[in-house]
Amino acid sequence: MTAAPGDAEPARALVLEVFPEGFEEVELGDVVELAGYGDEQQERRLGRRFPAVRAAEVEAGWDERWRAFHVPAVVGPLWIGPPWEEPEAGMTAVVIDPGRAFGTGAHATTRMCLELLAGLPRGSALDVGCGSGVLAIAAAKLGFDPVLAVDTDEAALEATELNAAANGVAVETRHADARSERLPAADVALVNVALDVVLEVADRVDAAYLVTSGYLHADRPAASRFDHVGRRTDKGWAADLFERR
């Protein structure tokens, strides 16, 4: 689907709702193209909400070309990227193979979470909705210990375990739904998920600091037990830092 720059933000929110595993965004002159890979059901769902949608058959070889969209990112001392890229010399490498889980670190929400995390006192860390494990592994590389990663998706937990082992760091994984299950206390909690989950989880985590993202910059989540102390915005996305009262 395509959208004018002024309509890009609500379009991103809509596409993310239909394709929560992620989508591609490309600037084409005076419009923004948002593309997700899915089935006919997702196409119909998106078409009902946004008329400017077109579908096309995915060409042969897409399973190799998708790698081009997972590019490295540099956040402070960290180089974060997929295993088919070469880490920069002198950087602390966080090598992430997304597998069936979302995220190698290039997305703006991941980068902003890590920017906020890097400035916090070291201690224990809890990654809620860990996906590929990039935040948990980066936290361990930054010196946070112990690190616990939780998710409701077994594929995410498997990807996190494999990526942690490949990076030589200790990350405990646990199948848990943070919206209903009790989570252990941590010095820092990371919640980079959809806005509705952030709103549910923010008042349930027991942490000195809370880093949240996964939503657009027009969204401003609040947490009753925390004070808002920092914000990052990039490419229409936002990340927030909260400190326990």
Instruction: Output the domain CATH number for residue 141.
Output: 3.40.50.150
pTM of the model: 0.76
Residues 36, 18 contacting (CB under 8 angstroms): yes
Pair 115, 29 in one domain: no
Pair 161, 239 in one domain: yes
Neighbour-count burial for 35-66, b at 16+ CB within 10 Å, e otherwise? bbeeeeeeeebbeeebeebeeeeeeeeeeeee
- Taking residues 39-47, report their average pLDDT: 69
239 vs 19: which has the higher pLDDT:
239
- Taking residues 183-195, report their average pLDDT: 95
pLDDT cut 90: percent of the chain above it: 58
Query: Is the pLDDT at 233 greater than 50, yes or no?
Result: yes
Pair 175, 231 in one domain: yes
Pair 11, 126 in one domain: no
Given 33, 63, 93, the domain boundary residue is 63
Q: What does the pLDDT look like over 137-167, one tens digit per residue?
A: 999 999 999 999 999 999 889 999 999 999 9
Count of domains forming the chain = 2
* Range name among 56-65, 70-79, 85-94 with the lowest pLDDT average: 56-65
Write out the residue range of the structural domain in which residue 75 sits: 70-244
Q: How confident is the model at residue 101 (pLDDT cuts 50, 70, 90)?
A: very low
Pair 26, 142 in one domain: no
Pair 59, 87 in one domain: no
Pair 53, 84 in one domain: no
